[in-house]
């Protein structure tokens, strides 16, 4: 058994853990952070939020179920709705366009030039 370890160079013992660290920081850790961000997105989802699906459909959240969301596709026609899975939601437009600190245009705020 000791003959096996005598033939391994010391630089190889340094390189293998280095590759493991690189793999962790570039592949595993970002994936966990992405999953945590997605999970918090679903938890913070509220009625009236404007969202975009993976397929590019824009809508307003009308109802939230356990694993599905009902989107209103047209503000004028309240009965035009689409039921999609929560995992099919890609982004929330209302928070990206109008952060909570700013006032939405048309509600007393002057438009920016």
Q: d(Cα 45, Cα 39) in Å, to the nearest integer? A: 10
Reported as a single tens digit per residue, the pLDDT across 36-84 is: 988 888 888 888 888 999 888 988 899 999 899 999 988 776 778 899 9
pLDDT at 43: 87
The pLDDT of residue 101 is above 70: no
Tell me which of 2.30.30, 3.30.70, 2.60.120, 3.30.2420 is the CATH number of domain 47-99: 2.30.30
Confidence band of 95 (pLDDT split at 50, 70, 90): low
Residue 100 has a pLDDT of 55
CB-based burial of residue 93 (10 Å sphere; 0-12 exposed, 13-18 middle, 19+ buried)?
middle
Domain limits, the chain? 8-44, 47-99
């Amino acid at each position: 058994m000791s003959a096996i370890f005598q033939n391994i160079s010391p630089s190889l013992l340094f390189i293998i853990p280095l590759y493991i660290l690189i793999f962790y920081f570039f592949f595993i850790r970002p994936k966990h952070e992405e999953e945590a961000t997605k999970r918090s997105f679903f938890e913070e989802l509220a009625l009236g939020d404007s969202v975009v699906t993976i397929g590019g459909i824009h809508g307003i959240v009308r109802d939230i179920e356990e694993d599905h969301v009902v989107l209103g596709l047209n503000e004028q026609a309240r009965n035009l709705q689409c039921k999609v899975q929560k995992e099919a939601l890609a982004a929330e437009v209302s928070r990206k366009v109008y952060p909570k600190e700013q006032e939405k245009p048309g509600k007393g705020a002057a438009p920016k030039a």
